[in-house]
């Protein structure tokens, strides 16, 4: 069932509760990547233009104790948001209570208020993360309508999404959530073909559901990263000291048997004797890994083959780096995939959040893809074909 979108709501002069995803990486109190803040701007700018009274909120990391609060405050995020919006953001360092209620009541049209990290409510009984009924109802009572724009938590039923939606008269998806659902949903359910998925990262176990779902929908799945070795070992190939999920060998074998040739494994690797950027490198074929070697990146033959396979693709979904991209000497595979996808002019190219998204952004490819998802876990669950509670809870378009 199609969901209500932001433009289906009348928000003029209404108090609009906006769940954004400002769970940004921070170091020593400074934001190290503000992509999620920038991605939320279209929704917030539209609400400002429409003369709404805007109350935005988000989680930031995990908050388990009072001591966590100092490093998990959203204050620096509110300051960054004010810079981008070029207007004041009234930051209220509370998640409930009189001060917050009063500030919301006195909001004028076009003004923006942001309240403190929703997970401050997790210290005493995980109220936010366990979708405490009273908390959802309380937050809902603070506004007239609800806009969910947080894709990163859409795969979880929390008080700040599902709890609010359940208790408010109208709810809809914000522009970012709409974009995420459209891009990933279209890719999986109605792709232009050939549709090729690239899956990397360490764990096959994290991506079993995705592989199974994509085997039914994609034309090809190119494998890279640490999970390559579990697949290779499941076929009796020597993988040395490379990462392997020993308890997933049968599963990897089953996936390959049921793939009818759709799963493509790397041909060669950059091999080393230790897990270090400075270790000596040997490039070797997949069937030539020595017992004391580990693969930390795909090799040039693999990149060339993947480039050829991707050349005619019309839809590409990528999740998970194809090597240890954090080490400069083992980042070439992941950069090579970025470059290849950046050159596909006619394809819709989607990066499914997480490490591959930060790699693409850090390596300078932010504008080279059709869509870089803001949600790692959420995009994986969506790619698996699962319903996302943070979307399902929103009003249906009648
Ligand atoms: P995931 O969270 O499963 O997407 O995995 C991402 C991580 O996989 C990154 O931190 C990469 O460094 C790591 N990774 C990719 N390739 C390898 C490899 N060959 N060996 C060990 N780790 C890898």
- Asked if 392 contacts 1 with a C-beta cutoff of 8 angstroms, the reply is no
Q: How far apart are CA 258 and CA 322, in angstroms?
A: 23
Is the confidence at residue 19, as pLDDT, over 80?
A: yes
Q: Do domains 6-175 and 183-383 have the same CATH topology?
A: yes
pLDDT per residue over 243-288, tens digit each? 999 999 999 999 999 999 999 999 999 999 999 999 999 999 999 9
Q: How far apart are CA 22 and CA 116, in angstroms?
A: 11
CB-based pocket (< 6 A), ligand 1: 200-203, 206, 225-226, 243, 295-296, 320-321, 323-324, 326, 354-355
Task: Outline where DSSP puts E strands in the chain.
Answer: 15-19, 26-27, 30-31, 53-57, 89-92, 112-115, 145-148, 170-173, 195-199, 220-223, 263-264, 268-272, 282-285, 294-298, 315-319, 348-351, 371-372
CATH class of 183-383: alpha beta
- Asked if 273 contacts 280 with a C-beta cutoff of 8 angstroms, the reply is yes
Domain boundaries, the chain: 6-175, 183-383
What's residue 29's pLDDT?
87
Q: How far apart are CA 302 and CA 295, in angstroms?
A: 13
Mean pLDDT of the chain: 96
pLDDT per residue over 305-337, tens digit each? 999 999 999 999 999 999 999 999 999 999 999
Average pLDDT over residues 178-193: 94
Is the confidence at residue 2, as pLDDT, over 80?
A: yes
Is the confidence at residue 398, as pLDDT, over 90?
A: no
- 53 catalytic residue (yes or no): no
Best mutation site among 25, 200, 294, 359 for ligand 1 pocket (most ligand atoms within 8 Å of CB): 200
pLDDT per residue over 116-165, tens digit each? 999 999 998 999 999 999 999 999 999 999 999 999 999 999 999 999 99
- 203 catalytic residue (yes or no): yes
pLDDT per residue over 23-82, tens digit each? 999 988 899 889 899 999 999 999 999 999 999 999 999 999 999 999 999 999 999 999
Fold classification of 6-175 is Rossmann fold (3.40.50)
What's residue 28's pLDDT?
87
- 364 catalytic residue (yes or no): no
Phi, psi of 245 (to 5 degrees): -95, 95
């Amino acid at each position: 069932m199609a969901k209500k979108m932001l433009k289906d709501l009348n928000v003029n002069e209404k108090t609009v509760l906006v769940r954004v995803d400002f769970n940004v990486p921070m170091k020593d109190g400074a934001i190290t990547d503000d992509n999620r803040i920038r991605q939320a701007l279209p929704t917030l700018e539209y609400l400002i233009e429409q003369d709404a009274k805007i109350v935005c909120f988000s989680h930031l990391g995990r908050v388990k104790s009072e001591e966590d609060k100092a490093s998990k405050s959203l204050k620096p995020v509110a300051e960054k948001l004010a810079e981008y919006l070029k207007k004041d953001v009234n930051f209220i360092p509370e998640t409930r209570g009189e001060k917050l209620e009063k500030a919301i009541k006195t909001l004028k049209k076009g003004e923006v208020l942001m309240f403190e990290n929703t997970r401050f409510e997790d210290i005493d009984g995980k109220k936010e993360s366990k979708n405490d009924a009273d908390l959802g109802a309380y937050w809902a009572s603070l506004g007239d309508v609800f806009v969910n724009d947080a894709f990163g938590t859409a795969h979880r039923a929390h008080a700040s999404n599902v709890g609010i939606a359940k208790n408010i008269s109208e709810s809809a998806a914000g522009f970012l959530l709409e974009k995420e659902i459209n891009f990933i949903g279209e890719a999986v359910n109605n792709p232009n073909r050939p549709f090729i998925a690239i899956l990397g990262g360490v764990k096959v176990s994290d991506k079993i559901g995705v592989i199974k779902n994509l085997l039914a929908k994609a034309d090809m799945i190119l494998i890279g990263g640490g999970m390559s070795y579990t697949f290779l070992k499941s076929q009796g190939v020597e993988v040395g000291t490379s990462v392997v999920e020993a308890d997933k060998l049968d599963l990897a074998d089953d996936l390959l048997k049921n793939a009818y040739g759709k799963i493509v494994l790397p041909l060669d690797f950059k091999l080393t004797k230790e897990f270090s950027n400075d270790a000596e490198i040997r490039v070797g074929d997949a069937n030539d890994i020595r017992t004391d070697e580990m693969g930390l990146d795909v090799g040039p033959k693999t990149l060339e083959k993947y480039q050829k396979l991707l050349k005619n693709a019309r839809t590409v979904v990528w999740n998970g780096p194809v090597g240890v991209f954090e080490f400069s000497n083992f980042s070439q595979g992941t950069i090579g995939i970025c470059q290849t996808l950046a050159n596909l002019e006619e394809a819709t190219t989607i990066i499914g959040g997480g490490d591959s998204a930060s790699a693409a952004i850090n390596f300078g490819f932010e504008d080279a893809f059709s869509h870089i998802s803001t949600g790692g876990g959420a995009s994986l669950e969506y790619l698996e074909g699962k319903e996302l509670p943070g979307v399902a809870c929103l009003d249906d378009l009648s």
